[in-house]
Structure 1
Amino acid sequence: MKIFRLILFIAHLVLLFLLIGVLLNAYVPPKIFPWFNLLSLGFPVLIIGYILLTFFWIFSWKKRAFAFMFLGLFFLNPVKRWVNYSVDKKETANLKVITFNMMGGKLGYDKIKEYIDQQNPDLVFLQENSYHNFQFKNLSGDNNLPVIAFYSKYKIRNRKNLFENLNDEDVTAQCEVVDLEIKGKIYRVINAHLGSFGFVKSTVKLNGESKEDEQKVKDIVKKLIPTFKMHQEQVAIIRKSIDESPYPVILAGDFNSVPNSYEYYHLGKGLNDAFFEVGKGSGTSFHDYKYPLRIDFIFTSPSIKPVTYKVDRSVKLSDHFPVISTFKLD
């Protein structure tokens, strides 16, 4: 029994150090050490293992349980970025936002249009739009980029392709900055689609054949690491636009990265994550794999107060669920 507990104790310490590695994404960029960003993908598994072992020590009446419980408090906010239970806000919302990766409209452009019209949003951020021009009710927008599109009820004062001079070969990376006039005040909205990893389900599904599965894992890592490094460049460009903005910012889109990743920490710096503030339940927005992946986000400047946040799992119009959030503007 002592040997068994020793093995569990060592395993618990390993999980602790791996979880600390996830937190280091706030400080260590992928071009220096990409493996911390890789750990962010495994955060749900790591934290579940950590919690189960902590309960084991509690039920075993071991003093070390208190140490692991205390250290576990450092991961409370990282957990809330995946699964959250917020109290209802009393503010009355006056802005409704939808961000949605359409998967190229493969499940039907008409259904997507009907859904968005029913929601009656004020702002719509679309990704993987494939140059499709929608004619939404009460919304207008010019679709001049192949991957992203933005529609609004409000007057567009200025718009710019932020990745126009991006020096990489990833054509899936797109970002547009739009300055909007809303009720006499200017806001800067940023619609982002960070570079895709290019996975399809067959490339990540393990089938129990050791050699074949091992090769699949190697191939996955070979795609992940270079994409993390390209994301670092994309994040820097978006971050500069946020930092230099004279207006309050709404940043939304498909980041192709998860909470507690380098991308999450650096894009969200100084902004509020709407899910973290008002979300309830799981934030998982990509549902094509049987694994919790929250990769669609809405961030706002502190002056833009989140009121509600919803991942709409009632519809399957893509391999992503639509993300809908409401806000109170001053």
Structure 2
Amino acid sequence: MKGLRFGSKIVFVINSLVAFLLLISYILPYVSPRSFASLSVLSLGVPLLILANIVFFIYWLLRVKKQMLLSLIVLLLGWNYINSMYKFSASEDTKDEASFSVMSFNVRLFNKYDWLKDKTVKETILDFIKKEQPDILCLQEYPRSERVKLEGYNDFNATYNKDVKGGQAIYSKFPIINSGSLEFPNTYNNAIFVDIVKQKDTIRVYTFHLQSSGIETDVEKLKKETSSHLFKQVGATFKAQQDQVELFLKHKSKTKYKTIVTGDFNNTPYSYIYRMVKGNDLKDTFEAAGNGFGRTYDFKFFPMRIDFILADEDFTVNGFKTFDVKLSDHYPIKTTLSLQ
């Protein structure tokens, strides 16, 4: 740091810490929350760390200082992370007779407890779905007490099903020949699945809502939380998510069908949980054909993508869209797929 003024030295020290944290975050997808719960919490802050390192790089670049190399090198080492956070171009959405669309949306109980001031949220959501007409629709935080019947769709778990928790529902314009639920223990969360028939193909579709951390999105409420409590709370959540994902993977391993996985993961693309679900046989449809930040959750501090549609490698991703509609604390996402 020779040749730097005192103020610039302080900036570089902070820069070094932020760069180190981002570098550490690159190993988080391989670190089990069950083993290092506190460390895994860092995965939630990866978008902020990336943005901070970009700012530091620009800061030193404008001053023509070699210190810019620190953040530049760390960012280049994690180029896949940047590509996962922001897509610079989108594939043109194409649809033909062989393709079909899949939408996933956490509807937040159709605003049952008036989180949004608009009293017509449920009706607006239904109008939105009718306009978009996805061939397969997966809903999370769906209240079965307010059953929704969609014309032209078959459905599973849209009404009372014995021994199946509420919260998730799947609608399909294609015939449903099999369905079921994976009941996660000690929680209201679960995963459901359907097997649908499209022409000569049978496709397995999962949707789930993994354990929520319960972190406040309101700035003033968040300020009242202690850092130790937040780390403990989120760490416990990630451990529960790992248990839930292991149950899901055990179930998924028994199917012979090409698979689509949708839902609210309550975790980011930089996490162990996401890497477990995605595995080596699924691809992220946003990464394949998305655009921009792909924000799916209304978090005030930085764009968070915690809702996903993952598709078997045998599918071609023809398009992806995140809808900027304020009808929940989540934003709906839709992809167009076809079988190769």
Q: Return the TM-score normalized by structure 1.
A: 0.88
| Structure 2 counterpart of 1:32 | 35
| Structure 1 counterpart of 2:309 | 298
More divergent stretch after superposition (112-121 vs 226-235):
112-121
More divergent stretch after superposition (104-113 vs 220-229):
104-113
| Structure 2 counterpart of 1:323 | 333
Alpha-carbon RMSD across the aligned residues, in angstroms, is 2.2
Question: Which amino acid letter does the alignment assign opposite residue 279 of structure 1?
Answer: G
CA–CA distance in 2 between the matches of 1:67 and 1:22?
A: 16
Structure 1 residue 53: deviation in Å?
1.6
Task: Tell me if the contact between 2:90 and 2:319 (Cα under 8 Å) persists in the aligned partners.
Answer: no
**Structure 1, unaligned stretches of length 5 or more?**
none
| Structure 2 counterpart of 1:138 | 152
Structure 1 residue 269: deviation in Å?
1.7
CA–CA distance in 2 between the matches of 1:103 and 1:29?
A: 29
| Structure 1 counterpart of 2:258 | 248
Question: Which amino acid letter does the alignment assign opposite residue 142 of structure 1?
Answer: F
Superposed, 1:97-136 pairs within 5 Å as 97-106=102-111, 108-131=121-144, 132-136=146-150
Superposed, 1:114-193 pairs within 5 Å as 114-131=127-144, 132-143=146-157, 144=161, 145-162=165-182, 164=183, 166-167=184-185, 169-171=186-188, 173-193=189-209
| Structure 1 counterpart of 2:296 | 285
Q: SS state of the match for residue 52, structure 1? A: helix
Question: Which amino acid letter does the alignment assign opposite residue 180 of structure 2?
Answer: K
Structure 1 residue 288: deviation in Å?
5.6
Q: Percent identity?
A: 29
Q: SS state of the match for residue 29, structure 1? A: coil
| Structure 2 counterpart of 1:268 | 278
Structure 1 residue 274: deviation in Å?
0.7
CA–CA distance in 2 between the matches of 1:269 and 1:3?
A: 47
**Cα distance per residue 1:27-75 (max 9 Å; x no partner):** 1111111233211211122112211222233233333434542332122
| Structure 2 counterpart of 1:3 | 6
**Cα distance per residue 1:134-192 (max 9 Å; x no partner):** 21121111323311000101111211212x2x33x221x21012221111111111111
CA–CA distance in 1 between the matches of 2:88 and 2:252?
A: 28
CA–CA distance in 1 between the matches of 2:267 and 2:166?
A: 21
CA–CA distance in 2 between the matches of 1:65 and 1:156?
A: 56
More divergent stretch after superposition (220-229 vs 124-133):
220-229
Structure 1 residue 216: deviation in Å?
4.3
Question: Which amino acid letter does the alignment assign opposite residue 128 of structure 2?
Answer: Y
Compared with structure 1, are the counterparts of its residues 288 and 27 closer, same or farther at alpha carbon in structure 2 (3 Å cutoff)? closer
Q: SS state of the match for residue 142, structure 2? A: coil
Structure 1 residue 98: deviation in Å?
0.9
Task: Tell me if the contact between 2:22 and 2:74 (Cα under 8 Å) persists in the aligned partners.
Answer: no
**Cα distance per residue 1:216-272 (max 9 Å; x no partner):** 444433321111110011111222333443111100011111221122221112211
CA–CA distance in 2 between the matches of 1:80 and 1:39?
A: 19
Structure 1 residue 9: deviation in Å?
3.0
Compared with structure 1, are the counterparts of its residues 142 and 88 closer, same or farther at alpha carbon in structure 2 (3 Å cutoff)? closer
Query: Is residue 246 of structure 2 the alignment partner of residue 236 of structure 1?
Result: yes
CA–CA distance in 2 between the matches of 1:319 and 1:90?
A: 26
CA–CA distance in 1 between the matches of 2:328 and 2:90?
A: 30
Structure 1 residue 87: deviation in Å?
4.2
